[in-house]
Structure 1
Amino acid sequence: MALEGTLETDVSTGNDAVAFEFTVTNTGSTPQELQFTDAAKAEFVVEDEGREVWRFTEGRAFAQMISSERLAPDETATYEAEWNDPSSGEYTALAELQARETTCEARTALTVSD
């Protein structure tokens, strides 16, 4: 599959939350069918020097339902998450598409200031 991911972060004023936006683009010349097994279509993880400090799906329940999304060439799909009450620090944020038989991920540096 020809999928490319980008991850953007936005630290809110007062540092009370970090918003994540993971955009997946079909960079190929044919449509791509993404198959999902539950409502969590993307996973978001925050790491501090390789140590996991936050995971979007941790402690959450998602509806178990099979669904699919079709991405035409050059079409995008966007998935979002929010990390509430983050600690200040320098992190690496990772987003990964949770579609079956498909790999697409993106990383970015993230700074949460005091």
Structure 2
Amino acid sequence: MTLEGSLDVSVSDDGNDVRFAFTVHNTGSGTADLQFPDACKADFAVLDEGREIWRFTDGRVFAQLIGEASIPPGESITYDGKWDDPQNGEFTAVGELCARNEQCEARAEFSV
């Protein structure tokens, strides 16, 4: 399987939140069957000059529920996250797939 990620970042007009949309594309010829160890399907991090300053999963608890998702060839699936009350600056966002059997990540530059 070949998975490629893309990450869209949008900052609210008032700068009070940043929304992330991490899309995982199956560019292979077979179905990508993803296995997740819990209810978290994707994680998001914000980097300031390479140093992590925020992570979506920090301080959150996810149901200990094994999950699965299938992405047919040529299809994609999108996972969302939100950074409430962000600080001002220039940052790099990283979206990461949390599947135990596949890896995929994407990065995007943004400013608040």
Give the structure-1-normalised TM-score: 0.96
User: CA separation in 2, counterparts of 1:50 and 1:71?
Assistant: 31
AA in 1 matched with 2:57? T
* Structure 2 residue 93 is matched with structure 1 residue 93: yes
Partner in structure 1 of residue 18 of structure 2: 18
User: CA separation in 1, counterparts of 2:70 and 2:102?
Assistant: 13
Partner in structure 2 of residue 29 of structure 1: 29
Unpaired stretches in structure 1, ≥5 consecutive residues: none
Per the TM alignment, residue 67 of structure 1 is displaced from its structure 2 partner at its CA by 1.0
User: CA separation in 2, counterparts of 1:41 and 1:82?
Assistant: 14
User: CA separation in 1, counterparts of 2:62 and 2:26?
Assistant: 26
AA in 2 matched with 1:16? N
Q: Deviations over 1:14-51 (max 9, x none)?
A: 10000000000100011110000111100100000111
User: CA separation in 2, counterparts of 1:24 and 1:77?
Assistant: 5
User: CA separation in 2, counterparts of 1:67 and 1:14?
Assistant: 36
AA in 2 matched with 1:92? T
Runs of 4+ displaced beyond 4 Å: none
User: CA separation in 2, counterparts of 1:23 and 1:52?
Assistant: 21
Unpaired stretches in structure 2, ≥5 consecutive residues: none
Partner in structure 2 of residue 60 of structure 1: 60
Aligned length: 112
Per the TM alignment, residue 101 of structure 1 is displaced from its structure 2 partner at its CA by 2.0
User: CA separation in 2, counterparts of 1:67 and 1:53?
Assistant: 29
Q: Deviations over 1:49-104 (max 9, x none)?
A: 11111100000000011110111001111000000110110000000000012110
Q: Give me the CA root mean square deviation.
A: 0.6
**% identical aligned pairs:** 54
- Secondary structure at 2:14's aligned position in 1? helix
User: CA separation in 1, counterparts of 2:84 and 2:66?
Assistant: 28
